[in-house]
Amino acid sequence: MLNRPLILTGFMGAGKSSVGRLLASKLACPFIDLDAEVVARAGRSINAIFAEDGEAAFRILESACLEHTLSRGGVVVATGGGAVIAEANRVLMRASGVVINLTASLERITERLAGAADRPLYAGDDPVKRVKTLLEGREQFYGDADIRIDTDGKSVEDVAAEILGYLRGLAA
């Protein structure tokens, strides 16, 4: 059983939700998708929040949901790709639990996001260029993690096993 939150960070399409669900199952603890928490609290989709209130309003709501979620203790949390942007969020994550950053190549991310209509920051004329720009801008924040795992060429099971091995090392 997990006694502190296990926090998965990374860009959209890096595998946070898929890996998080499997980890929660293996650790017999709740899985929380932070984007789903934001949607539930706002009563509308992320696309609607972005369109009606803007990204800044979304980030404020995201931070509030993160704080509430991390206060729950032994949970596995898949954060939104931009949750790491706010310094206060990074400080809170580091103080609250184990931060694991999942990475993926630009090619893999664009493959995984192809056709995604529910990702407002992926929308637009040149989504690949947008992803590249966002990745470069967030890299310094993604690096603020206890461990980073490249998910390219690995199954969800492989990534989860790598994380579980890391956690066993912490417990030893």
Domains and CATH numbers, the chain: 6-171 (3.40.50.300)
Q: How many Cβ atoms from other residues are within 10 Å of residue 158's Cβ?
A: 13
b/e burial code for range 95-120 (CB count within 10 A of at least 16 → b)? ebbbbbbbbbeeebbbebbeeeeebb
**Cα angle 15-17-21, degrees, rounded to a multiple of 5:** 120
CA distance 80 to 134: 13
Residues 50 and 58 sit within 8 Å (Cβ to Cβ)? yes
Location of structure tokens 């664009």: 110
* pLDDT above 70 coverage of the chain, percent: 92
Give tens-digit pLDDT for 25-38.
Answer: 999 999 999 999 99
Give tens-digit pLDDT for 86-137.
Answer: 999 999 999 999 999 999 998 888 887 766 555 555 555 677 788 888 889 9
